[in-house]
Every structure is written in structure tokens, then in C-alpha cells.
């Protein structure tokens, strides 16, 4: 079992695009949005995964992720997703040795841009790039599972 420790921020400008070393298209939906066990189906370009996450305690939660067949993932997104399917471009930026993931939402969430940084410990301090704005860690409105249910 992996532990996910992350902080989340709103993005104030698009300079992350010129700093990014990679961009991937993501389509994801939720089979379960229960706060104790979130189950997500995700397609990243031509790869697909099922992910189970537990409730967040502090900024940490348990996470399990497994590859699944692409055709089955697409069927699940179409047939069993709760709410809407989220579409976004994810940009990867290496800033001072930390990998930032910046999600530029598309479709019904167009205009929302959120950056996440995964940490090794909850009290780890990280340098913030210039495109980082307000911290929204722990604000459920910005959880992808909430966005799927409340477009």
C-alpha cells in the first residue's frame, strides 16, 4: 500500500506551460465517491488504471492503483461513473527538485487550474513556483471526486 501525502494550490498564471517537460491528457470518472473509499477509473493517453483511496487524515491517505485494460476502463467511464467524467491536461514541472503536477481542467470545469505536489512527509517544506496561488489543501470543493459530482 502506498501513502499519498500531497498539498494542493490554485494556479495564478500559465507560466507552468513553458516550464513543463511533459503534458498528458487525462479522462477520469468515479465508481464510488464515499469519503472512506473513493474508487476512480482513469485513462491517461492510452493507459488505464483503477485507483482506490481512503479518507484523508491530515494531508495523508492510503492509495492503491492498478493497470486495467483500456477498453474496460472506457466502458466503465461510460457506464458506471458517478456524476460527470472529468477531462484535463496534466502538466509536469520540475521546480527545485520537486515534481509539480498542474491540472488544467477542460469541459464543464474549463478555467480551473490546480497544482499538486506530493511530499515525503506532512511537515516537509517545499519552494513554491511563481505560478502558485492560494493553498486549497483539504478543501473538498477542489477534490476531483467533488468536481465530478458538482460540475
The CATH number of whichever domain residue 25 belongs to comes to: 2.40.320.10
Specify the pLDDT at position 35: 78
DSSP the chain: -EEEEEEEEEE-SSTHHHH-SEEEEEEEEEEEEETTEEEEEEEETTEEEEEEEE--BTTEEEEEEEE--HHHHHHHHHHT-EEEEEEEEEEEEEETTEEEEEEEE-GGGTT-EEEEEE-SSTT---PPPTTEEEE-TT-GGGSHHHHHH--
Name which of 108, 103, 105 is nearest 117 in CA terms.
Answer: 103
Catalytic residue among 16, 30, 91, 95: 30
> What is the per-residue pLDDT across 58-80, written as a single tens digit (0 to 9) for each?
888 899 999 999 999 999 999 99
At 70, list the grid cell.
483500456
At 120, list the grid cell.
515525503
Specify the pLDDT at position 100: 98
Specify the pLDDT at position 59: 83
Structural domains counted in the chain:
1
pLDDT tens, the chain, 151 aa long:
577 789 999 999 999 999 999 999 999 999 998 878 999 999 999 999 999 998 887 888 899 999 999 999 999 999 999 999 999 999 999 999 999 999 999 999 999 999 999 998 889 999 999 999 999 998 989 999 999 998 7
Q: Please say if 95 is a catalytic residue.
A: no
Specify the pLDDT at position 56: 81
Specify the pLDDT at position 1: 58
Give the pTM.
0.91
Structural domain containing residue 109 = 2-149
Amino acid at each position: 500500500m502506498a501513502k499519498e501525502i500531497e498539498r494542493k494550490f490554485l494556479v495564478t498564471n500559465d507560466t507552468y506551460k513553458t516550464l513543463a517537460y511533459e503534458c498528458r491528457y487525462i479522462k477520469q470518472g468515479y465508481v464510488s465517491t464515499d469519503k472512506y473509499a473513493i474508487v476512480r477509473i482513469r485513462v491517461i493517453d492510452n493507459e488505464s488504471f483503477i485507483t482506490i483511496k481512503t479518507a484523508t487524515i491530515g494531508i495523508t491517505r492510503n492509495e492503491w492503483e492498478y493497470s486495467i485494460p483500456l477498453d474496460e476502463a472506457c466502458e466503465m467511464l461510460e457506464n458506471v461513473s458517478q456524476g460527470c467524467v472529468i477531462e484535463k491536461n496534466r502538466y509536469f514541472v520540475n521546480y527545485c527538485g520537486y515534481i509539480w503536477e498542474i491540472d488544467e481542467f477542460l469541459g464543464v470545469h474549463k478555467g480551473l487550474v490546480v497544482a499538486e505536489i506530493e511530499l515525503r512527509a506532512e511537515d516537509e517544506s517545499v519552494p513554491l513556483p511563481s505560478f502558485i496561488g492560494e493553498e486549497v489543501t483539504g478543501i473538498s470543493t477542489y477534490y476531483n471526486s467533488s468536481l465530478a459530482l458538482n460540475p
